[in-house]
């Protein structure tokens, strides 16, 4: 038998592409632009495996294609809400992801956003670049500190726990968490964290809110107008989870009307076509989905996909199988 035919939907780190090509018959998307529905319908007929990313929307419609050849979707990333898992599963298509390897870097970018939003770093950087800085003065761009403040975390998986470690041990922050399932007290004890059952009981008691829950329809608009109104006016929201977790219009209104102090965002609804009204919010830090963007992590993600492929094509159940 020949090598399995593989489609890589976006360009990957060179080391990973070379490694993948050693074992498989690989086609790379040289344009490095997101594929559309028609592209995926054709790809499902031609390739044994497709390796998508978060930018590749794979709805139910594409799985209605006839004569599907694809047997595994090796997702390059942790989140897989962009794939209709039920539709894939109904056709016997295995879906894998890449957990663990990007927890550190996503936690790092979360703290980056917290610091930037709290210390108004985005405003300051724009001011300097625009040659509008008039020098030091006591009331200029006064922000707030992280040290000793209370951080609320929604979703206390691997990334949420890494954020808690950095915040608690690095900045002496008090940690309150809300999670859909009960958390082992031993895990909570690592950061003296306290689990709160309901989001609405968490929100009034925190200075920072960091989102690390899954995306998808289950958590769409988890944070909307009513939730934002429960937060302190001095509080700051950070989202490195998925864009749909936050209602855009509600957050933009809250930022413009000082319902909350600021926000730091690395993910958006409909990426890269974010709601343009965010651009008018000086108190919003806006990053272009950089959570895993380090050489070490992006390579580790690719090698994790290869590991899953190797296991699948050798007849084993991939370690990161999600369906």
Count other C-beta atoms under 10 Å from residue 185's C-beta: 9
Dig out the tokens for 252 from the structure.
């933009």
Count of H-run helices and E-run strands, the chain: 12, 12
Residue 10 a catalytic site member? no
- Angle in degrees, CA 289, 290, 294, rounded to 5: 150
Q: How far is the CA of 226 from the CAs of 114, 254, 280, in angstroms?
A: 22, 10, 22
Spatial distance between the Cα atoms of 225 and 88, rounded to a whole number of angstroms: 35
Residue 289 a catalytic site member? yes
71, 119, 220, 289: the catalytic one is 289
- Angle in degrees, CA 54, 55, 56, rounded to 5: 90
Element (H, E) at 84: none
**DSSP line for 226-237:** HHHHHS-TT-EE
How many residues are there in the chain? Answer: 323
Spatial distance between the Cα atoms of 193 and 163, rounded to a whole number of angstroms: 12
Residue 242 a catalytic site member? yes
120, 242, 298, 304: the catalytic one is 242
42, 271, 299, 311: the catalytic one is 271
Q: Mind telling me the catalytic residues?
A: 242, 271, 289
């Amino acid at each position: 038998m020949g090598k399995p035919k593989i489609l890589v939907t976006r360009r990957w780190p060179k080391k990973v592409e070379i490694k993948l090509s050693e074992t498989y018959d690989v086609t790379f998307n040289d344009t490095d632009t997101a594929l559309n529905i028609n592209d995926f319908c054709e790809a499902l007929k031609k390739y044994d495996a497709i390796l998508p990313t978060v930018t590749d929307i794979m709805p139910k419609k594409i799985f209605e294609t006839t004569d599907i050849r694809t047997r595994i979707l090796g997702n390059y990333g942790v989140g897989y809400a962009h794939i209709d898992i039920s539709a894939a599963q109904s056709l016997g298509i295995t879906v894998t992801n890449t957990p663990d390897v990007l927890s550190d870097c996503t936690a790092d970018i979360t703290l980056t956003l917290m610091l930037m939003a709290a210390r108004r770093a985005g405003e300051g950087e724009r001011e300097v670049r625009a040659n509008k800085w008039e020098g030091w003065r006591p009331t200029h761009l006064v922000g707030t500190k992280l040290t000793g403040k209370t951080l609320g975390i929604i979703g206390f998986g691997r990334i949420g726990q890494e954020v808690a470690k950095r915040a608690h041990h690095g900045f002496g922050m008090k940690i309150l968490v809300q999670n859909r399932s009960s958390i082992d007290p031993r895990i909570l004890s690592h950061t003296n964290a306290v689990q709160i059952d309901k989001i609405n009981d968490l929100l009034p008691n925190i200075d920072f809110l960091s989102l690390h829950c899954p995306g998808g329809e289950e958590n769409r608009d988890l944070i909307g107008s009513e939730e934002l109104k429960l937060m302190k006016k001095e509080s700051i929201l950070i989202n490195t989870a998925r864009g749909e977790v936050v209602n855009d219009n509600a957050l933009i209104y809250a930022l413009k009307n000082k319902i909350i102090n600021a926000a730091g965002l690395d993910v958006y609804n409909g990426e890269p076509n974010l709601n343009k009204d965010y651009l008018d919010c000086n108190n919003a830090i806006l990053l272009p989905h950089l959570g895993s963007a380090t050489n070490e992590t992006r390579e580790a993600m690719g090698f994790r996909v290869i590991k899953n492929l190797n296991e699948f094509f050798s007849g084993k159940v991939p370690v990161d199988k999600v369906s």
